[in-house]
């Protein structure tokens, strides 16, 4: 049993007695009470009932109030580690490369307009040996020749004095002046020379018929008509083998003149009678006249260099 506290011991403040364990009186009281105090202040604290009975009532009340008001030291909760949300990886959608067939814009193939088949508009008869050409003009090549009295189909298309015909389902062109609606009567024998009603002679020329060799019937007719109308003409030119033009085909006649006035007279007479003579073209004094463009009259030609090339010394007639 502990000895009672000596009465001469001076009472110390309550705070010191509670905070300092080394005080002799506090230790002795603690031992007597059976309570152990630890220096760090974290040991169990005495309840109010365990305090020494000789403590001043006010001190005991302060101590109990202090214990009630003192909140326990909060334990620091560990800071939660923020878990990084995994980044969502977006798989790129592969871009589909269009094929060549998809990228190419389809080309619209234009349907060609069919050429209408030529139709037969009627029939005509050939009144003389007639050249069949690939186009409407003397510059077009000769495809074949039709004989006198040949019946041909026409399409109804014309180009000036040229008429389109059908041969073996192909279109060609001939001089329309030599087509007739009625069938011509064939001549069985050489008719007696006579003056036609139109005043154009077809009798052989007194100057001879040597130039007529190789000429077509139409060219021969022109030669005889001119020499009968202009008997003072002394020279003519006809067939020129190897020539690519009308002279090479025997369809042209050159009338050599002795004066410019004579040339003018011959050229104008031939133009005035072109239909009866079957003439399609006249060239004289660097000018040209054609049936197709007869409404234009004489047309100037380019300079070819010489009087003969420019037709100053002769009148050229094409049939």
Convert the pLDDT of each residue in 103-116 to its tens digit: 555 556 667 666 66
Written as one string, the DSSP assignment of 215-272 is: --HHHHHHHHHHHHH-TT---EE---TT-SSTTTTT-EEEEE-SSHHHHHHHHHHHHH
Q: Cα 188 vs. chain centroid, distance in angstroms?
A: 65
Is 78 within a domain? no
Residues 230, 167, single domain; the answer is no
Q: What does the pLDDT average to over 253-261?
A: 93
Question: 40-90: per-residue pLDDT in tens?
Answer: 444 445 554 455 555 455 555 555 555 555 555 555 555 555 555 555 555
Look up the pTM and report it.
0.41
Q: What pLDDT, on the 0 to 100 scale, is given for residue 158? A: 93
Per the domain annotation, does 106 fall within a domain? no
Strand partners, 170: 167
Q: Answer yes or no: do 219 and 309 share one domain.
A: yes
What are the φ/ψ torsions at residue 217 (nearest 5 degrees)? -60, -40
- Kindly state whether residue 265 falls inside one of the protein's structural domains: yes
Structural domain includes residue 5:
no
**Does one domain contain both 142 and 222?**
no
Number of structural domains in the chain:
3
Cα gap 245→252, rounded to integer Å: 9
pLDDT recorded at residue 199: 72
Q: Are residues 56 and 143 in the same domain?
A: no
Geometric angle at alpha carbon 181, from 180 and 186, rounded to 5°: 55
Q: What is the pLDDT of residues 198-254, one digit of tens each?
A: 578 888 988 788 899 999 999 999 999 999 999 999 899 999 888 878 999 999 999
Band (270; pLDDT cuts 50, 70, 90): very high
Residue 86 lies in a domain: no
- Residue 243 resides in a domain: yes
């Amino acid at each position: 049993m502990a000895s009672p506290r000596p009465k001469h011991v001076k009472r110390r403040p309550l705070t010191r007695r509670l905070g300092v364990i080394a005080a002799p009186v506090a230790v002795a009281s603690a031992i007597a009470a059976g309570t152990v105090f630890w220096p760090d202040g974290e040991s169990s604290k005495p309840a109010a009932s365990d305090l020494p009975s000789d403590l001043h009532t006010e001190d005991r009340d302060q101590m109990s109030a202090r214990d009630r008001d003192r909140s326990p030291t909060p334990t620091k909760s560990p800071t939660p580690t923020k878990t990084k949300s995994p980044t969502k990886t977006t798989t790129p959608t592969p871009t589909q490369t269009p094929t060549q067939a998809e990228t190419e814009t389809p080309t619209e193939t234009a349907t060609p307009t069919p050429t209408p088949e030529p139709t037969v508009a009627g029939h005509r008869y050939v009144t003389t040996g007639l050249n069949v050409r690939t186009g409407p003009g003397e510059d077009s090549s000769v495809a074949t020749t039709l004989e006198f009295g040949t019946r041909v189909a026409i399409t109804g298309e014309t180009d000036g004095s040229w008429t389109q015909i059908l041969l073996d389902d192909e279109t060609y062109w001939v001089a329309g002046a030599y087509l007739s609606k009625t069938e011509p009567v064939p001549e069985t024998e050489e008719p007696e020379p006579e003056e036609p009603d139109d005043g154009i002679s077809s009798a052989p020329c007194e100057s001879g018929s040597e130039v007529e060799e190789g000429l077509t019937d139409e060219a021969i007719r022109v030669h005889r008509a001119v020499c009968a109308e202009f008997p003072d003409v002394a020279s003519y030119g006809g067939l020129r083998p190897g020539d690519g033009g009308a002279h090479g085909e025997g369809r042209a006649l050159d009338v050599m003149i002795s004066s410019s006035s004579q040339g003018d007279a011959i050229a104008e007479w031939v133009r005035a009678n072109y239909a009866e003579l079957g003439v399609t073209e006249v060239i004289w004094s660097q000018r040209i006249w054609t049936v197709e463009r007869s409404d234009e009259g004489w047309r100037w030609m380019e300079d070819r260099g010489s009087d003969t090339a420019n037709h100053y010394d002769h009148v050229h007639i094409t049939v």
